Structure formats: C-alpha cells, structure tokens
Structure 1
Amino acid sequence: MHPWPTKASAVIEHEHTDLHCGHPHLAGTTPSPAGWRHSHRYLTDALHAHQ
C-alpha cells in the first residue's frame, strides 16, 4: 500500500487494479501488468480510498 501525499493539489500517478476495461474512470489510462495506470489531481472518493 502507498499512502497518498498530504498536499491536496498534487498530481498523483497511480494504478487501478479492480476496474474493468470499459469503466468511465479509465479513459486515457495506460494498461499495466496489474491493471490501469494514470495521473490526476489528488482526491479521495470511492475509486481512490487509499491505494
């Protein structure tokens, strides 16, 4: 597990391993061996709890 930084304006590169390839949040992602990788501003929601 990697904790999110405390700076709310930070852009975070991260990976989603539990979303299917057609999920709307994955638009613009890059496939990786474990899932889908992308970057966006820090946020905490149902898709980004504390990955």
Structure 2
Amino acid sequence: MLSEQEEEVSDKIEESQETIQKNRKIISFSKEYNNIEKENIPIYNFD
C-alpha cells in the first residue's frame, strides 16, 4: 500500500510527464513552423 504522500508524489510525476509530452509537441510544432517561415519569407538586408 502506498502512503498518501507517495501517491501524491506519483500523481505529480504523472502530471509532469504529461506536461513534458505536451511541451515536446509544442516544441516540435514550433520548430516546423519556424522552418516553414524561413523557407517562405525572403530576407532583406538593408545595409
């Protein structure tokens, strides 16, 4: 039997892992988005 504290900790770990998964999705999405931006937008140098 897990103690209450242990259960809380394991719940928090689970939540953290879900958050990490979400963040990874967001990061990979934004990387893709950034690549798309770079390919489509011409870069102007105003020297």
Report TM bin, short chain: under 0.3
TM score, norm. by length of structure 1: 0.17
More strand by share: 1
More helix by share: 2
TM score, norm. by length of structure 2: 0.17
Higher relative contact order (CA 8 A, sep 6+): 1
Which protein is bigger by CA-based radius of gyration?
2
